[in-house]
């Protein structure tokens, strides 16, 4: 099954995608994580991506499409994937369809997580993520803090915040998302694969679990 997770930055789509990946035993592909890894390694790709991401802007389509196309050639993607952060534009969605079509595959479902802006802003400003990529646990300093400040409960690794998690960048990212998402939503709606998901309580610790339950109904 090929699933595309949609939702504004901070909507919880990343957490929901990880839960879906575990339940369905499929790889979770996050373009954001891939770019951040390149940025951390200070590669040329990372430096180029960071020049956009640090300002809350989208990485150009061509750059993003190429990195996803390469990832979809790996053996672990043959039965499906959970895509998180891609596509973000209609052009990327069309490119994804072509990539999958070449493999005799297609996008099966596109859940869109809908969460109020104020909840999103509060979430992001208080978000901390485990620095261990194998773990990747996400915490909220305000609503879901770790037992020991700055330390992951699961693996004991250091918790980090993203350099692009600041008020100005968050507002810009929300504006960019809304500017690009309408055509994307229309595109997937016309293909009858779009499903709108609204958590009953987006501030609850299990909000993402609730969203996944709705997706798998």
Token pair in block for residue 139: 């915490």
Give the count of beta carbons closer than 10 Å to the beta carbon of residue 23.
13
Q: Is 69 a catalytic site residue?
A: no
From the list 18, 36, 90, 173, the catalytic residue is 173
Candidates 202, 5, 158, 201; CA nearest to 84 is 5
Contact 186, 89 (CB under 8 A): no
| Cα–Cα distances in angstroms (integers) from residue 196 to residues 116, 151, 211, in the given order | 14, 35, 10
| Cα–Cα distances in angstroms (integers) from residue 19 to residues 7, 111, 116, 153, 216, in the given order | 15, 14, 21, 18, 11
> 192: left (phi > 0), else alpha (psi -120 to 50), else beta?
left
N-to-C CA span, the chain = 15
Q: How far is CA 153 from the centre of its chain?
A: 22
From the list 71, 144, 162, 189, the catalytic residue is 162
Return phi, psi of residue 56, to 5°: 75, 20
Q: Is 13 a catalytic site residue?
A: yes
Q: Is 178 a catalytic site residue?
A: no
From the list 13, 18, 36, 123, the catalytic residue is 13
From the list 88, 90, 105, 123, the catalytic residue is 88
From the list 18, 90, 105, 127, the catalytic residue is 127
Q: Is 127 a catalytic site residue?
A: yes
Could you list the active site residues? 13, 88, 127, 162, 173
């Amino acid at each position: 099954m090929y699933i595309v997770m949609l939702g504004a930055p901070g909507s919880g789509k990343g957490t929901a995608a990880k839960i879906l990946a575990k339940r369905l035993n499929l790889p979770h592909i996050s373009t954001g994580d891939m770019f951040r890894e390149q940025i951390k390694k200070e590669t040329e790709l990372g430096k180029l991506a960071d020049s956009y991401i640090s300002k809350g802007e989208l990485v150009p389509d061509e750059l993003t499409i190429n990195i996803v196309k390469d990832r979809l050639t790996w053996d672990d993607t043959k039965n499906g994937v959970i895509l998180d952060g891609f596509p973000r534009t209609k052009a990327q969605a069309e490119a994804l369809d072509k990539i999958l079509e070449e493999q005799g595959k297609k996008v099966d479902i596109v859940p869109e997580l809908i969460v109020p802006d104020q909840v999103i802003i509060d979430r992001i400003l208080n978000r901390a993520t485990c620095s261990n990529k194998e773990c990747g646990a996400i915490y909220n300093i305000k609503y879901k803090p770790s037992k020991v400040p700055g330390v992951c409960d699961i693996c004991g690794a250091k918790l980090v915040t993203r350099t692009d998690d600041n008020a100005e960048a968050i507002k810009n990212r929300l504006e960019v998302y809304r500017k690009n998402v309408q055509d994307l939503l229309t595109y997937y709606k016309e293909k009858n694969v779009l499903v709108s998901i609204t958590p009953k309580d987006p501030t609850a610790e299990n909000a993402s679990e609730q969203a996944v339950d709705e997706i798998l109904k």
